């Protein structure tokens, strides 16, 4: 059982280190830019939001709260515009 836990921790650390290293290389920068471009395209075309999973979960759980927040933000914008 301990071997499984050690393997899981070691694998997680190795994966994070590899991801961090690759992210800094030119190929990694290019790949991350392509991933973000695809995510934005899918979001615009199909309404799929890959990058903001937490926001999507929040919208599903608390739609009335988000509606009220948007109303308050609009009121603030209107008041700031009148000054």
Question: How many structural domains does the chain have?
Answer: 2
Q: Which structural domain, as residue segments, surrounds residue 80?
A: 52-83
Which of these, 48, 30, 10, 71, lies nearest to 18 by C-alpha position? 10
- Per-residue pLDDT, 3: 86
Are 63 and 76 found together in one domain?
A: yes
Task: Tell me phi and psi for residue 68, to 5 degrees.
Answer: -65, -40
- Would the CA dihedral through 54, 56, 62, 63 be positive or negative? positive
Are 42 and 59 found together in one domain?
A: no
Distance CA 10, CA 70 (A): 44
Are 36 and 12 found together in one domain?
A: yes
Following DSSP, what letter does each residue of 53-72 receive, concatenated? HHHHHHHHH-HHHHHHHHHH
Mean pLDDT by 10 residues, the chain (83 residues): 85 86 87 86 77 76 90 92 69
Are 44 and 58 found together in one domain?
A: no
């Amino acid at each position: 059982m301990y071997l499984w836990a050690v393997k899981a921790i070691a694998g997680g650390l190795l994966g994070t280190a590899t991801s961090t290293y690759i992210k800094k290389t030119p190929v990694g920068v290019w790949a991350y830019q392509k991933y973000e471009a695809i995510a934005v395209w899918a979001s615009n075309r199909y309404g799929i939001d890959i990058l903001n999973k937490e926001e999507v979960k929040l919208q599903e759980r608390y739609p009335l709260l988000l509606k009220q927040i948007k109303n308050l933000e609009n009121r603030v914008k209107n008041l700031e515009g009148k000054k």
